[in-house]
Amino acid sequence: MAESNESKPVQLIDDESISQKHSSPMGDALRQFRHNKASVVAFFVILFFLFMALTAGIWTQVGLLDHARGYRATHTINPTGWEGVDAWPDPGHCARDNLDRDEQWCAYLSPEEQLRFSDKCGRPDLTEEDLEQRQWCYLLGGDSQGKDWLSQTVYGSQVSLAVAVTGSTVSLIVGIIYGVISGYYGGRLDNVMMRFVDFLYGIPGLVIIILMQVYFREISREYSDSEGIVGFVVGLDKSMGGLFFLFIAIGLLSWIGMARLARGQVLSYREKEFVEAARAVGASDRRIIFVHLLPNVIGPLLVAETLAIPGYIFTEAFLSFIGLGVQPGVPSWGEMISRIRQQGGLFSNRHIVLVPSIALVALTLAFNFFGDGLRDALDPRLRGKV
Amino acid sequence: MTTAIHTEQTSPDVAGVDKHSGKDVLLKVRGLRKHFPIKSGFIFSREVAAVKAVDGLNFDIYRGETLGLVGESGCGKSTTGRTILQLHRATEGLVEYEGVELTTLKGNKLREMRREMQIIFQDPYASLNPRMTVQRIVAEPLLVHGIGDSKSREKRVADLLELVGLNPYFADRYPHEFSGGQRQRIGIARALALDPSFIVCDEPISALDVSIQAQVVNLLEQLQADLGLTYLFIAHDLSMVRHICDRVAVMYLGKIVELAESEELYTNPLHPYTQALLSAVPVPDPNVEDSRQRIILKGDLPSPANPPVGCNFNTRCPVAVDVCHELEPDLIEILPEHWVACHRVT
Ligand SMILES: Nc1ncnc2c1ncn2[C@@H]1O[C@H](COP(=O)(O)OP(=O)(O)OP(=O)(O)O)[C@@H](O)[C@H]1O
Ligand SMILES: [Mg+2]
């Protein structure tokens, strides 16, 4: 390291040309993103859905949402001796039948022989004053079984977001690993791997997904009580309300486009001179992939994945709508719409159809706008031109 | 004295003194070929042809000199540089660095050799990772070779940046904040990080503004003087290398057609291709410039996948005769230290 002392440094070149303001690729992207109002709004819409999905249980307890089990599951009143619902014959019943109508309540005698009321939502153990104060109970009404519709919509967002998260995670992980290996190592391996992807790309995905779900349903029925790995998987799926098989069906084909894209990105960077420079100093393949390739290729891949998320959400909604998605009783937006349709409420209760539909559209649009903003922010061609 | 260098003649002298010239040979290239296969087929592709990017090179690089490598675009200059550095593995032939044969080296041995040999690239934009700070870029060679801790690396990076005329204050900036010339200096600092003795400069100034070119050339020359570096200086036009290089090799379609000391090559070009290239270089003296006869080569550069039989320059050569279409000429030392591959030069 002696040379720096021996040689007089060449005259330092003009520093003024380097701006004093520090800018990093990430910082620039963030600044660019903030300029795009629509995608900022979209970002907060997604955050809002995420927040509601994660905190649904809290709202239920607070009473803003009433998660649909009527008083069945959530309300145990009067700990002394009143274990549950089944001991209450009348009030629940009368409430349920009259939900869509005007103010309706039931009066009954509590075990202590006190006069109690249940409101139109079926909430029991109210006093007369309670009933008067309560102008509403369900924010957006209930379904024909007396379940809070808003609550179901919020719980439905859990399903949509779970599908979005798993679909994109599987797609990113599998797709990137597959594409990077194929693109980086190239040669015959690349050739074989890409022909396989071409083959998968050629088959109609939705048909495969539907067939797969039909098959899974069959397995669930067949092996519902069996032991072993199949029994375990079926049990797991059941405990997840059918989501496990949905994840598999959606994840199984989701990575194909990602693999192609990742490979293309890697190919375009593999021969770049900075990669060659790393090779020239003896950097390992691992270092080249993780330090030089991935940070450069990840941007467009994330954008593509964000724009693919609405597809996963729609697929789940569609499958649940035709009865091949979540298990009955698990609220999902597609399943809710289908339920209204079956009960003939499509025309009589328009606002009720609109609730899950609007949620569906809002969330998918939000992902689209967010993806657009992300693309503009990460696209180096639109940036760095001083 | 006329001696042809053939692959077989690779003398076993170790890192030693070249027999003809008494000069200290740092790098010896013998019969070097690099062919890129052209493949075709659906899944199990076969090699149907090959791009003969480098097709049989023989030359030495002396310690401390600058050897220029000049030729048209696509003649295989970059491929030569990269094959010497083992960034491409040679199809055939030998590359000996201080007596160590590189083309068969692998793993850690090769990694160790990489400390000795570095490269500076043409495109100052593509040669720096846009996601890394200057600090990380310049420190990467040290990190890869496990040299020092992060403190001492930081110090070393600061020294290197100063050495190439950059203010170490900007080490935490990203490449896009620098100008082309400044980026090229960052690339030079990275190449110097491991204290190499040999550097391939792949058209390091072609992409820069003319005013910046001189600065970078001066920097390279000063570094050579201070650090005792040896350069393989690649350029695509002869005028650029005249005052940088001690010797110049002229390449055509994967082969060296003429190799001589700079002044000798400029004043006494023997190969018709060199003559044509030189005739295109403007001369500062107006009297000479007026009488300068441009030799216009007919035709295009043939495809390196399918070079002509015989002398590969025969399709464009103004003086080609029958033998040129049949026999490939050897690179022969026509005059002392002046090598030419041409049947018409004797
Ligand atoms: N990785 C590669 N795969 C296939 N062919 C290649 C590859 N690299 C170079 N070639 C081919 O080899 C030949 C020589 O290329 P090379 O880059 O060495 O030329 P060059 O003399 O450096 O040209 P330039 O002045 O444009 O940089 C060209 O025909 C090129 O297309
Ligand atoms: Mg080149």
- Per-residue pLDDT of A310-327, as tens digits, reads 999 999 999 999 988 888
In this structure, what token pair is assigned to residue A238? 């059941």
| Residue whose CA lies nearest to ligand 1 atom number 17 | B78
DSSP-H helix ranges across chain B:
77-84, 107-114, 134-144, 150-163, 180-192, 210-227, 238-241, 262-267, 272-279, 286-291
Whether the Cβ atoms of residue A160 and residue A315 lie closer than 8 Å to each other: no
Q: Using a CB–CB cutoff of 8 Å, tell me whether B87 touches chain A.
A: yes
Whether the Cβ atoms of residue A257 and residue A244 lie closer than 8 Å to each other: no
**How far is A29 from chain B, CA to nearest CA, in Å?**
12
Asked if the ipTM is above 0.90, the reply is no
C-alpha to C-alpha distance for B341 and B186, rounded to whole angstroms = 39
B134-150 burial code (b ≥16 CB/10 A, e <16): bbbbbbbbbbbbebeee
C-alpha to C-alpha distance for B158 and B171, rounded to whole angstroms = 7
Whether the Cβ atoms of residue B319 and residue B344 lie closer than 8 Å to each other: yes
- State the ligand closest to the CA atom of B91: 1
**How far is B227 from chain A, CA to nearest CA, in Å?**
7
Whether the Cβ atoms of residue B232 and residue B84 lie closer than 8 Å to each other: yes
| Residue whose CA lies nearest to ligand 1 atom number 7 | B36
Measured from CB, residues less than 6 Å from any atom of ligand 1 are: B 36, 51, 53, 71, 73-79, 236, 304
On the question of pLDDT at A40 being above 80, the answer is: yes
Whether the Cβ atoms of residue A280 and residue A292 lie closer than 8 Å to each other: no
Q: Which residue has the tokens 């401390």?
A: B64
Q: Which residues of B touch A281 (CB under 8 A)?
A: 114, 118, 140-141, 144-145, 190, 193-194
Q: Identify the weakest region by mean pLDDT among A58-62, A189-193, B18-22, B313-317.
A: B18-22
What is the per-residue pLDDT for B278? 87
| Sheet architecture: strand order including B92-97 | B46-62, B25-40, B92-97, B100-101
Q: Which residues of A touch B189 (CB under 8 A)?
A: none
C-alpha to C-alpha distance for A88 and A110, rounded to whole angstroms = 9
Q: Using a CB–CB cutoff of 8 Å, tell me whether A1 touches chain B.
A: yes
| Residue whose CA lies nearest to ligand 1 atom number 1 | B36
Nearest to B232 by CA among B30, B36, B82: B82
Mutation choice for A interface testing from B40, B114, B134, B140 by most A CBs within 10 A: B140
Alpha-carbon separation of residue A46 from A59, A360, A368, B74, B112 (angstroms)? 18, 12, 11, 52, 51
B37-76, pLDDT tens digit by residue? 888 776 667 778 889 999 999 999 999 999 999 998 889 9
On the question of pLDDT at A385 being above 70, the answer is: no
In this structure, what token pair is assigned to residue A123? 């909430």
The bridge status of strand B230-235 relative to strand B198-202 is parallel
What backbone torsions phi and psi does residue B312 show, to the nearest 5 degrees?
A: -75, -5
On the question of pLDDT at B261 being above 90, the answer is: yes
DSSP-H helix ranges across B115-251:
134-144, 150-163, 180-192, 210-227, 238-241
A231-287, pLDDT tens digit by residue? 888 888 888 888 888 899 899 889 999 999 999 999 999 989 999 999 999 999 999
B208-256, pLDDT tens digit by residue? 888 888 889 999 999 999 999 999 999 987 877 888 899 999 999 999 9
C-alpha to C-alpha distance for A236 and A232, rounded to whole angstroms = 6
Q: Using a CB–CB cutoff of 8 Å, tell me whether A240 touches chain B.
A: no
What is the pTM for the complete model shown?
0.81
What backbone torsions phi and psi does residue B141 show, to the nearest 5 degrees?
A: -55, -40
Q: Which residue has the tokens 């490449």?
A: B175
The mean pLDDT of B158-173, rounded to a whole number, is 92
What is the per-residue pLDDT for B320? 87
